[in-house]
Amino acid sequence: MRLRNVVGASKIIEDSKYIILDYKEHKRKYSKVFKNKNPIHIEIGMGKGDFIIESAKRFPHINFIGIEKFDSVLVRAIQKLEDEQLDNLKIIKMDATNIDEVFACEIDLIYLNFSDPWPKARHEDRRLTSELFLEKYELLFKEEKTIIMKTDNRHLFEYSLKSFTDYGYAIKHLSLDMYKEVPSTNIPTEYENKFKDKGPIYLVHVNKNKKARNC
């Protein structure tokens, strides 16, 4: 469920020091955006920002980029950042369908937290773990490819496991009920905090070592 529109949301977002407006112009040059060569982790579908903001605070030697297309939730994240000074965090307002136009050979890890499950078969290509998206991600990574996914949707989780393994990823860690053995390193999303007591949260960590194409 999306939030109601916030008056002036677009202006609030555009004026934020965390927003990258000309994001396509920085392709292959995001280390210059951060002015360092630290690893870059991205969260596709950052929502209201709880996960990526806390990640940036907790891991100052990692650069984080949050991606979100909806003003109604993104503006909430921007508002949370008003009093923060996080040099290792940037945000891009965009549709993930175009992600291969934004990054190339520079990402170390992708987070997929509670992505839209798109349950109808005709919408399969919209799932962020479909072959269509995995092909796009292939172009983003430096060398080792790492994806960490959390979801409360059993169908999406099962679909994603097959999609990952069919595409050559190895499963490094898997949990069918994360909160029975929640890792101390876990950073919850706002959605996760709201729904973690209403059913299992599924977690999978996958990676692949083959060097990305065109790098």
87 classed as catalytic:
no
The catalytic residue among 87, 95, 116, 125 is 116
| CA-based torsion, 62, 97, 45, 115: positive or negative | negative
The helix (run of H) or strand (run of E) holding residue 66 is: strand 63-68
The three-state secondary structure class of 110 is strand
Question: What type of residue is 28?
Answer: R
**What crossing angle do the helices spanning 131-138 and 154-166 adopt, rounded to 10°?**
50
- Active-site residues, by number, are 116
